[in-house]
Amino acid sequence: MSGPRILATDSKFRIVRIEDGDRVTNVLEKWDGCDALGVERWREVNVGQADTVSRWMRDWIIAHALSCDGMKEK
């Protein structure tokens, strides 16, 4: 198992790939400010479990961002 890897990022959103054995998940996160020590905090953008349209939009955002020249892999 390898740790989370940032695939694409900008100042407000980022896409993180999480690998757990054979399972690979891409997660859309939004910037959530800094803690008391100045460390950035990021929070997953949650979509409704029953809301298929929201999940499709999340997946579309991830696919579009990964294919966009403006987003860089880190």
Terminal alpha carbon distance of the chain: 19
* Residues 44, 29 contacting (CB under 8 angstroms): yes
Q: What is the pLDDT of residue 54?
A: 76
Tens of pLDDT along the chain (74 residues) come to 567 899 888 888 888 999 888 888 888 898 999 999 999 999 988 776 656 777 788 888 888 877 875 555 54
Q: What is the pLDDT of residue 50?
A: 58
CA 72 to CA 70: how far, in whole Å? 6
Q: What is the pLDDT of residue 9?
A: 86
Task: Classify 64 as helix, strand or coil.
Answer: helix
Q: What is the pLDDT of residue 74?
A: 47
Q: What is the pLDDT of residue 69?
A: 58
- Enumerate the domain spans of the chain: 5-67
Q: What is the pLDDT of residue 49?
A: 62
